[in-house]
């Protein structure tokens, strides 16, 4: 392994201080990494961020994922501490599938009108996460880093480093604000990949809501609001509890009860939310 560097590079995030990072370029058989170090790498444990490339989030500042925001939050934390190492996996777009597949993924999603990422990956014959962290271990060995504070929401990264003999002394959460644009992806990552975030998933919200509704009379069931988005949006944005008629073909559901407050982040994505509907006696 013969990296290019170091290159001295000043970095500032928003109104943070300007810090000098040492940048290195590593090339492996099937992957490339850019590594940035600020402060003393021998002072361990050292904050570590493994950043998978994302053409949409990092370059075009897209809102459908949180990649750009996570990267900036991690760099900002390192700048504040004047201590840390970031590894940028150049070829890891779409969780290790590359830029071409990343474009195909979003093209398929938009043309087919599909939102379930797990089904889309299955249809395209792709693993949900194909990333290989072997280069990360080799880079840590190169810099004699044996103890880290890992900046991640992904528990798999903790397992990989621990199994390789790296002492992960702490997990530092990197959690941007959830929005109507990134809600679908972030909640699916939490449910299917086990990401450790504080966002309330749809299942968690429904469970909590069920508990609150146990005292209600009558039978209740869930319907998806996708086919009734206009009605559901009007109900969600009206702060007063109310009952609305729904033009449902299924006679077992007659009304939409909006006597609850959904999580703030679901307001703009009501087609992903299950709402309570009253069944006929």
User: Left if phi > 0, otherwise alpha if psi is -120 to 50, otherwise beta: which for 55?
Assistant: alpha
- Write out the two tokens for 67: 């990649």
Q: Coil, helix or strand for 63?
A: coil
Both structure tokens of 211: 């508990």
Distance CA 278, CA 144 (A): 62
Identify the helix (H) or strand (E) that includes residue 22.
strand 19-27
Inter-helix orientation angle 155-163/134-142, to 10°: 60
Marked catalytic residue, from 81, 91, 129, 227? 129
Strands 4-11 and 242-245: unpaired
267 is catalytic: no
> Chain centroid to CA 41: how far?
28
131 is catalytic: yes
What is the distance between the terminal CA atoms of the chain, rounded to a whole angstrom?
Answer: 72
What are residue 154's phi and psi, to 5 degrees?
-100, 110
Q: Give the C-alpha separation, 39 to 20, whole Å.
A: 8
Q: What is the per-residue DSSP string for 222-280? A: EEESGGGHHHHHHHHH--S-EEEE---SSTTEEEEEE-S---GGGTT-GGG-EEEEEEP
> What are the φ and ψ backbone dihedral angles of 174, each rounded to 5 degrees?
-125, 90
List active site positions.
Answer: 129, 131
């Amino acid at each position: 392994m013969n990296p290019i560097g170091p290159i001295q590079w000043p970095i500032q995030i928003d109104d943070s201080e300007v810090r000098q990072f040492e940048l290195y370029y590593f090339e492996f058989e099937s992957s490339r990494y850019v590594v940035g170090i600020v402060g003393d790498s021998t002072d361990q444990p050292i904050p570590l961020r493994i950043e998978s490339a994302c053409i949409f989030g990092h370059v075009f500042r897209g809102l459908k994922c949180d990649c750009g925001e996570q990267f900036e939050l991690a760099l900002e934390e390192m700048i504040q501490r004047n201590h840390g190492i970031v590894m940028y996996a150049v070829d890891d777009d779409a969780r290790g599938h590359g830029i071409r597949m990343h474009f195909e993924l979003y093209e398929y999603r938009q043309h087919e009108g599909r939102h379930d990422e797990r089904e889309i990956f299955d249809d395209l014959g792709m693993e949900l996460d194909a990333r290989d962290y072997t280069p990360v271990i080799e880079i840590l060995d190169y810099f004699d880093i044996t103890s880290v504070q890992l900046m991640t929401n992904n528990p798999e990264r903790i397992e990989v480093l621990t199994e390789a003999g790296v002492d992960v002394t702490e997990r530092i959460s990197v959690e941007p604000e959830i929005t109507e644009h990134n809600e679908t992806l972030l909640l699916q990552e939490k449910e299917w990949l086990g990401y450790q975030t504080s966002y309330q998933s749809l299942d968690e919200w429904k469970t909590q809501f069920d508990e609150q509704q146990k005292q209600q009379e009558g039978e209740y069931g869930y319907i998806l609001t996708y086919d009734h988005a206009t009605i559901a949006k009007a109900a969600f944005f009206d702060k007063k509890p109310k009952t609305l008629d729904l033009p449902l073909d299924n006679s077992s559901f007659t009304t939409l009860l909006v006597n609850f407050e959904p999580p703030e982040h679901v307001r703009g994505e009501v087609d992903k939310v299950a709402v309570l509907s009253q069944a006929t006696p």
